[in-house]
Structure 1
Amino acid sequence: MDADNRVLQALSVRGELIEAVGSDEQIMALVEDDTLVTDLRGRALLPGFVDAHGHFPGSGMAEIAADLNSPPIGDKRDMAQLLAALRERAAMTPPGEWVSGFGYDDTLLAEGRHPTRAELDAISTEHPVAAMHISGHMLVANSVALQLAGIDADTPDPVGGVIGRRPGSREPNGLLEETARMGVVLLMQDMNIGSAYRMFKSAAREYAQRGVTTAQSGGTTPGLARALSLASRLGIVPQRLVLFPFEEEFGQALYNGDYDPGDYANARVTMGAVKIVADGSIQGFTGYLAQPYHTPYQGDAQYRGYPAVPREALFEKVAALHRAGYQLAIHGNGDASIEDILDAFEAAQAAHPVDDPRLILIHAQMAREEQVARMARLGVTPSFFTAHTWYWGDRHRELFIGPQRAAQISPHGWALRHGVRFSSHLDTPVVPMQPLQAVWSQVYRQTIGGDVLGPQQRIDVMQALRAVTIDAAWQSFLEDSRGSLEPGKLADLVVLSGNPLDDPARLRDLRVDRTVIGGATIYQRH
């Protein structure tokens, strides 16, 4: 994954670093009496996968919460199965403690709807109960949880969020969208040490099994950042971590100079770009579109979603943070949101020019071609959630945005055409951490139903591999230390059961045989 995409025969590691790369003959000349020589026997050695955007340790929630996912991720096909999973979790949870579930998708349940406050009340009135939508942008809470969060009939919708109401009433129905959900989310994150340990260990184990050597927590609170830093120092999490501090949660410390990355960073933890969430999720009908959704949402044929941060406020935040010297990572799914982000950043750059800003436009799912061209001019780099084509492609085409717009989601082809460097991510725990799925989806853009969604946006295997290695590292200014197999870089490596260049159609079926961080093996398949 170097600048020339070279494929070489051999590599030498000394200590934590790559010593040399080259031919078998060149590397064998470096062998000493105590050198361990490994013959890959036809397997492939790659740089360890770099998670360009995810929410580590979110995949570890399975240790402490009910898995509410529908196929192909989980097995919940109807509301009865979803509620049964939450009821089972409640039965093993002491009264007063949180009962939560994650990953439900209303459009995949037989009833085609969200659970309700009343249904969660029927599970328990002794526990706060919450079911998190697969998008992560909304949840449903029971009465106990709503009371703890201070949400009732008199609570107004917050800026950038919606409190669902019962028909003909202002009484909350339990559904909390976007910023309205954050009070409940923060309460849920306040877990005991034992739960946090199990969650961290489970996520670290999964990432190691998938060949991920740099994980990302792409939106952290101060508390989570401290916990992850401690878990790293104690060796609970062996992966290198990149943490994006949430603008909203770190608050004034980012603006008044009180924020010090050194309070959280260590040898394996990097505090990265400041994270702003500008809109929501297309599959949650909260992504902010320039044109209405394909299927009218709640009967409104003109509904386009909404911004999580109003345009004027976004301009103010981006200008202040850019002026303070921070790299920015801004979540934008809908094309109207992307337009606001680009407008805000262009204004900030005009006022305070930075030669290499690398604003990361997270997801950039609905970016139009002229917006991609504009990214090139502004120094913006998108991180595409390309596996949307597999998990939601059919529903994007038929339900959410229609055939024409669905064919253009995650537009890698346009990015290459306009010289825009990009990465690809999985947004785990939204979908499982499977980097080779991300690679495969970039190459084939196939849906679960077997259709190809936007063949003009497909790219080749080497470019797709770069998007989960060196280009993902580059986005966070880490390209000098990881992401490619070059002398002097960290020996963060993954051994695959075969060469992904040999048979691209089967590349997502390759197995991770070994994961190495800093020259030390953290996972080996037996």
Structure 2
Amino acid sequence: MSLPHQPGCACCTLPRLSTQLDALQHHNWTESLSGLIRVAAERAKLALHQDAAIFHGGPIYTLQGGQSGRVEALGVAHGKVVSVGSLRQVEADMQAQPRAERIDLRGKTLLPGMVDPHVHILPSALYRNWVNLSPFEDQILRPGYNLGWVAEKLRNELTARHGHTRADTQQWLTGFGVDPSLMTKWQEPDQPFLDQISTETPIFLINASGHLGYANSPAMKLAGLDPDSKGVTTEADIGKVLAVIPGLAAPHLLSKLQEILHEAASRGMTTLFDAGLGAAMGQLEITLLRAFAQSPLAPVRIGAALYSNQDWLQEQWLHTFQPNHIPHDDDRFSIRALKLIADGSNQGLTGYQSQDYCCADEHHVPNVSPRGLFNFEPPITFAAQLQRALNAGWPVLVHANGDQAVDYVLAAFELALYDENAKDGAPNSKLALRSRIEHASLLSDASIATMARLKLSPSFLIGHVGYWGQVFKTTILGRDRAQMLDRCQSALKAGLRISLHSDHFVSPLGTLRMMEQAVTRVMEADPERQPLNPTECLDRLSALRAVTLDAAWQCHMDHIVGSLEPGKLADLAILEQDPLDPAVPAGSLRDIRVHQTWLAGKPVYQNPKTH
């Protein structure tokens, strides 16, 4: 069994994906991108829009100053907000734009464009080319999710490919998103199970957490895996399997990349923050995503944190880039921070805990301690890595799920943030960098107090409560420790600015869904749909702020997005209903339809069902 402190990659398998993205190096992906851009440009010509507009006739929330900032009208021109206030005032301020289009909202609600501050864009695009085995149907838990359903999906895919289930040892059958923890009965799709699907076609599945994989006998043989593992693989062996699976062609990857960004726009998002860019292909990922974001293909703007777990990689980033915190007009792509991953996934039983997982004996992960794993020697080695980044002026996002991982990370920050040259009472500039704890899933009162003192803010994967809350409470963590999960309200009371994120591909894109889960904290797998620790429920405005202004603040983008104020970019979403209206049930916020999404004063999404 591995030592719990052994260095290892527990970061959603991102570095292991290099072989799957290898086609980008050997294929002229710029030709494929240029072709997509030409098509998008032609469509844009057909959707010309005035460069100025006055919105009125419905609730308009600016989020100015962190309050709702409700106003009667909003004026935009040349991609920016010009005026907010009464209709008369906005009309006066817009006199320099005599041809401004007047847009009557007809009772619809206008908000700042929403921000998801933690996603993984390229891996999500890659996995969308695999068979979808996730427990989610759109943004809802799939009823009757079990191994039987997984088997049926895989057999149907084999049949669709070949007309029958004959063998094809050249074409792998790959699936993503399988999650035993959310099945009606927790069962691993191990080698004996997958061999029932086929003993000739190689099959490989990756767990929804990204930390585990499952292989059948042909796949194990091709990858040289230990037959005693029963096909259940952790990060190192996942890399061996991915190395022998044929890579994805560039046009397919680019198509799925476009699909993800348009899905985000269709759900009211105008900013995605990639929390781990460069993990698989380094500079090539940055080049690709920048080119995509700055083209007509992208209906959202993209910020990023660079994956930096290895010393050599961190040094490379420090010598190549500077954090982009300077205001820019309509900046569609920017690198804002560095990313470190301290532990694994709580639902994957690899997040590092202060005590054994309740289900460790029954659902033990091969080569992982029953308390999970930590990727550094805590806290000294980890502190040195943090300190290099902070001393160079970089904010750092640190992935920490387990409560022991959080405490180790905070101890490392204590060391890294210490400024021996600062005089008594002098400000410590490193405290102002807005460093974050990603997921911060299990927080004690002491941890929250330490975060407040160190000026660290949490970003919560709130789907842990909504989707996995029941299994955390009954199986993985136990009733008492599950109360520590995603303590949103306690963090706010301690003076922390919080955000909510999807960690997509881990949970579905959907900021309104994330608001709903933070407001209700309903455990959606619970037949009685009880809330998990309702004292941590957010009010609606706080939840909205956590996917707009405060999410933008955490990403160092609040000077341009996150609220609708004169001089800021006109990124906005128009909704069919008002999510702040108490008459709209809190449990149906995810069902609110997005009517339009605008980026820099131009519509980039229009819902065909609301026109």
Aligned residue number for residue 309 of structure 1: 376
Q: Distance in 2 between matches of 1:33 and 1:58?
A: 46
Cα pair distance change 1:416/1:289, threshold 3 Å: same
Q: Distance in 2 between matches of 1:261 and 1:141?
A: 41
Q: Does 1:3 find its partner at 2:65?
A: yes
Structure 1 residue 490, shift from structure 2 partner: 0.8
Of stretches 441-450 and 339-348 in structure 1, the one that deviates more from structure 2 is 441-450
Q: Does 1:219 find its partner at 2:219?
A: no
Q: Does 1:519 find its partner at 2:601?
A: yes
Q: Distance in 1 between matches of 2:285 and 2:240?
A: 16
Does the CA contact (< 8 Å) of 2:323 and 2:336 recur in 1?
Answer: no
Q: Distance in 1 between matches of 2:275 and 2:536?
A: 26
Q: Distance in 2 between matches of 1:230 and 1:253?
A: 23
Q: Which residue identity does 1:304 align to in structure 2?
A: R
Of stretches 493-502 and 125-134 in structure 1, the one that deviates more from structure 2 is 125-134
Q: Distance in 1 between matches of 2:323 and 2:434?
A: 22
Deviations 1:72-91 (A, max 9, x none): 44467332431342344456
Q: How does 1:49-448 map to 2 (within 5 A)?
A: 49-60=114-125, 63-70=128-135, 72-74=140-142, 77-90=145-158, 92=161, 96-110=170-184, 112-120=186-194, 123=197, 129-142=203-216, 152-153=225-226, 171-178=228-235, 180-182=237-239, 184=241, 190-221=247-278, 222=282, 223-248=284-309, 251-252=312-313, 254=315, 257-260=318-321, 267-298=331-362, 303-311=370-378, 312-351=380-419, 353=428, 354-448=430-524
Q: Which residue identity does 2:292 align to in structure 1?
A: A
Q: Distance in 2 between matches of 1:107 and 1:52?
A: 25
Structure 1 residue 250, shift from structure 2 partner: 8.7
Aligned residue number for residue 103 of structure 2: 38
Structure 1 residue 355, shift from structure 2 partner: 3.7
The structure whose Rg is larger is 2
Of stretches 327-336 and 192-201 in structure 1, the one that deviates more from structure 2 is 192-201
Structure 1 residue 11, shift from structure 2 partner: 0.7
Does the CA contact (< 8 Å) of 1:396 and 1:406 recur in 2?
Answer: yes
Q: Distance in 1 between matches of 2:323 and 2:359?
A: 48
Identity among equivalent pairs (%): 31
Structure 1 residue 279, shift from structure 2 partner: 0.9
Does the CA contact (< 8 Å) of 2:308 and 2:314 recur in 1?
Answer: no
Cα pair distance change 1:299/1:175, threshold 3 Å: closer
Deviations 1:101-152 (A, max 9, x none): 1111113335522212354456567765321111122222345655666x53
Does the CA contact (< 8 Å) of 2:144 and 2:184 recur in 1?
Answer: no
Does the CA contact (< 8 Å) of 1:278 and 1:331 recur in 2?
Answer: yes
Q: Does 1:16 find its partner at 2:98?
A: no
Query: What secondary structure does 1:290 align onto?
Result: coil
Q: Which residue identity does 1:15 align to in structure 2?
A: H
Structure 1, gaps ≥5 residues long? 154-165
Structure 2, gaps ≥5 residues long? 1-62, 163-167, 421-427
Structure 1 residue 175, shift from structure 2 partner: 2.0
Q: Which residue identity does 2:544 align to in structure 1?
A: L
Deviations 1:303-328 (A, max 9, x none): 32221333243233223322333211
Q: Distance in 2 between matches of 1:242 and 1:140?
A: 33
Q: Which residue identity does 2:345 align to in structure 1?
A: S
Aligned residue number for residue 28 of structure 1: 91
Deviations 1:412-432 (A, max 9, x none): 121112111111111112221
Q: Distance in 2 between matches of 1:187 and 1:345?
A: 39
Does the CA contact (< 8 Å) of 2:342 and 2:374 recur in 1?
Answer: yes
Query: What secondary structure does 1:294 align onto?
Result: coil
Cα pair distance change 1:19/1:255, threshold 3 Å: same
Does the CA contact (< 8 Å) of 2:323 and 2:394 recur in 1?
Answer: no
TM-score normalised per structure 2: 0.77
Does the CA contact (< 8 Å) of 2:502 and 2:508 recur in 1?
Answer: yes
Q: Distance in 1 between matches of 2:319 and 2:246?
A: 24
Does the CA contact (< 8 Å) of 1:69 and 1:76 recur in 2?
Answer: no
Q: Distance in 1 between matches of 2:85 and 2:317?
A: 50
Structure 1 residue 253, shift from structure 2 partner: 5.4
Query: What secondary structure does 1:9 align onto?
Result: strand
Aligned residue number for residue 47 of structure 2: none
Q: Distance in 1 between matches of 2:245 and 2:331?
A: 29
Q: Which residue identity does 1:92 align to in structure 2?
A: R
Deviations 1:16-54 (A, max 9, x none): 111111111111222544110101111111111111111
Q: Distance in 1 between matches of 2:492 and 2:545?
A: 13
Aligned residue number for residue 160 of structure 1: none
Query: What secondary structure does 1:346 align onto?
Result: helix
Cα pair distance change 1:521/1:327, threshold 3 Å: same
Query: What secondary structure does 1:53 align onto?
Result: strand
Of stretches 29-38 and 329-338 in structure 1, the one that deviates more from structure 2 is 29-38
Does the CA contact (< 8 Å) of 1:493 and 1:515 recur in 2?
Answer: yes
Of stretches 172-181 and 376-385 in structure 1, the one that deviates more from structure 2 is 172-181
Structure 1 residue 230, shift from structure 2 partner: 2.3
Count the aligned residue pairs: 507
Does the CA contact (< 8 Å) of 1:283 and 1:400 recur in 2?
Answer: yes
Does the CA contact (< 8 Å) of 1:200 and 1:237 recur in 2?
Answer: no
Query: What secondary structure does 2:407 align onto?
Result: helix
Cα pair distance change 1:320/1:127, threshold 3 Å: farther
Structure 1 residue 178, shift from structure 2 partner: 4.2
Deviations 1:332-387 (A, max 9, x none): 01110001111111101114751402211000010111101100111111001122
**Equivalent in 537, 561, 582 of residue 482 of structure 1:** 561
Structure 1 residue 507, shift from structure 2 partner: 2.7
Of stretches 128-137 and 269-278 in structure 1, the one that deviates more from structure 2 is 128-137
**Equivalent in 484, 491, 504 of residue 570 of structure 2:** 491
Q: Distance in 2 between matches of 1:483 and 1:101?
A: 36
- Supply the RMSD in Å over aligned alpha carbons: 2.9
Query: What secondary structure does 1:208 align onto?
Result: helix
Q: Which residue identity does 2:509 align to in structure 1?
A: M
Does the CA contact (< 8 Å) of 1:73 and 1:431 recur in 2?
Answer: no
Structure 1 residue 193, shift from structure 2 partner: 1.1
Does the CA contact (< 8 Å) of 2:225 and 2:237 recur in 1?
Answer: no
Does the CA contact (< 8 Å) of 1:288 and 1:336 recur in 2?
Answer: yes
Query: What secondary structure does 2:340 align onto?
Result: strand
Query: What secondary structure does 1:282 align onto?
Result: coil
Structure 1 residue 240, shift from structure 2 partner: 0.6
Deviations 1:170-216 (A, max 9, x none): x4332223455345557779421121122112111211110110112
Structure 1 residue 220, shift from structure 2 partner: 2.0
Q: Which residue identity does 1:203 align to in structure 2?
A: I
Q: Distance in 2 between matches of 1:426 and 1:216?
A: 11
Does the CA contact (< 8 Å) of 1:63 and 1:198 recur in 2?
Answer: no
Q: Distance in 1 between matches of 2:509 and 2:145?
A: 22
Does the CA contact (< 8 Å) of 2:73 and 2:85 recur in 1?
Answer: yes
TM-score normalised per structure 1: 0.88
